[in-house]
Structure 1
Amino acid sequence: MINGKMWLVVKPTVGIPLMLGGVVVSALSIHTAILVNTTWFPAFLQGKPRAAASLSDGSAPAVALMKPGTPSEHASLLVK
């Protein structure tokens, strides 16, 4: 243990609850900050599904248009 001598100064019956309490306080403060500052986290906690992602201009990604072939064929498809 790196800080084994700490328990010579602080009793484990005091130090362990203090450390665990610090972990609980920090975790609750992080979750509260996320809950207050985002819109998706409250919806996630309520069990609402995510909105489906959509392409704004209606075009398919270039990878979906590629067929098996050589890299030069793929490059020529992207140039067209």
Structure 2
Amino acid sequence: MIYSKMWCVVKPSVGIPVFIAAVAISSFSVHLALTMNTTWVKNYLNGGTKVAMAAPAAADAAVKK
């Protein structure tokens, strides 16, 4: 372990939760920045544009003849 002497100064019961909290906060901030500063993420999460279903109706009319 590279930083094994660090645990002589910082207790693992304090250092590990602080490290996990720092990772969670940084991950949240990166994801928030992506959703706020890009347009394609919002479009992807909203499902994009809806396509009209006019083509199958024309195919059904041809089959009925």
TMscore range, shorter length = 0.5 to 0.7
- Tell me the residue number matched to 1:7: 7
Q: Could you give the per-residue CA deviations for residues 36-80 of structure 1, whole angstroms, max 9, x where no partner exists?
A: 00111122223x258xxxxxxxxxxxxxxxxxxxxxxxxxxxxxx
Structure 1 unmatched runs, 5+: 51-80
Task: Let me know the Cα RMSD of the aligned residues.
Answer: 1.6
Following TM superposition, the consecutive aligned residue runs of length 4 or more in structure 1 with deviations greater than 4 angstroms are none
User: Which structure: greater helix fraction?
Assistant: 2
**2: distance between equivalents of 1:45 and 1:22?**
26
Aligned-residue identity in percent: 47
Task: Specify every segment of 5 or more residues in structure 2 that has no aligned partner in the other structure, as ranges.
Answer: 50-65
TM-score, with length taken from structure 2: 0.68
Alignment TM-score, normalising by the size of structure 1: 0.56
User: Residue 31 of structure 2 aligns with which residue?
Assistant: 31
| Aligned equivalents of 2:3, 2:34: Cα separation in 1 | 33
AA in 2 matched with 1:42: K
**1:18 aligned onto 2:12:** no
Measured in 2, the distance between the counterparts of 1:49 and 1:10 equals 49
1:64-75 aligned within 5 A: none
